[in-house]
Amino acid sequence: MRISANSLSITLLGCCCLLPANSSAQEAVLDAKPASLTYSQLVWSDEFEGEELDRSKWSIEVNAFGGGNQELQIYTDRQENVRVEDGNLVIEARNDKAAVSGTEREYSSGRVRTKKRGDWKYGRIDVRAKVPAGKGIWSAIWMLPTDEKYGGWAASGEIDIMEMRGQDPNIVLGTLHYGDNWPRNTHSGDQYKLEAGSFADDFHVFSIVWKPGQIDWLIDGKRYQTQTKWSTAGADFPAPFDQEFHLLLNVAVGGNFLGSPDATTEFPRQMQVDYVRVYQ
């Protein structure tokens, strides 16, 4: 959740605050068979095989004030922050005092989205990515409603496919936000913890399978969480997750969700995305 310091306007960065997952329940789910591939027809994809970002599929946010949540970065469309390189989309956070519209901030980074270029109601979304470690580095793969039919955040919902706090690089979070306009909103979700290593070591496939009244979260094809209960003010279930949503990818720096970088945080830090595939 992003709240402007000067107004009540709200933008978002997949903010979530979760209780620790029940490890025994999680292990039981992880031992289960992979979730059914209900959706098998590829309807949208980007393999990032060209020399630059495909602007028919993505837009790049330029934002001199970051993303809210007391985050420290400035979002730019510079090659230093967003580019296609060696078959991957690279979103790079830097400590380089970049400036946009006369505003300079200590850190810069990138955020891309598919709004009005890729918008879906139900389906399976797969994102194969390697995400950066480091205190104060916040990577996110998430979705927002294309049309806020039920009201402002979070009445119209938010789906966080994956978030990772860089100081906890072996844990990722999957979360839903819903309920009502802020501050009457709520959220629910769970976490996935690697038994060894970190998500910064190698690529993993982060997925949701989104059906009417049910959303599953998967890591490398294994389901670790299912949600079937949510709500929104003024509409019946399965609202708000019965409308078209679009995808966002970004790396934030600092903020009240995870704290600021420190002397141990090395820059630049990269999220590398091998592909995005959407099936219906």
Ranges of each domain in the chain? 23-279
100 and 63 Cβ atoms separated by less than 8 Å: yes
- Is residue 31 very low, low, confident or very high in pLDDT (cuts 50, 70, 90)? very low
pLDDT tens for residues 44-64? 999 999 999 999 999 999 999
Per the confidence metrics, is the pTM higher than 0.85?
A: yes
Checking if the pLDDT of 115 tops 80, the result is: yes
Report percent pLDDT > 70 for the chain: 87
CA 34, 173, 271, 198 torsion-angle sign: negative
- Fold topology of 23-279: Jelly Rolls (2.60.120)
Predicted confidence at residue 36, as pLDDT, reads 53
CA–centroid distance for 118 within its chain:
15
Cα(218)–Cα(162) distance, integer angstroms = 10
Checking if the pLDDT of 263 tops 70, the result is: yes
100 and 64 Cβ atoms separated by less than 8 Å: yes
Can you tell me the mean pLDDT for 102-130?
Answer: 97
Q: Which residues are catalytic?
A: 158, 163
pLDDT tens for residues 182-221? 999 999 999 999 999 999 999 999 999 999 999 999 999 9
159 and 186 Cβ atoms separated by less than 8 Å: no
Can you tell me the mean pLDDT for 71-97?
Answer: 97
- Is residue 18 very low, low, confident or very high in pLDDT (cuts 50, 70, 90)? very low
Can you tell me the mean pLDDT for 235-262?
Answer: 97
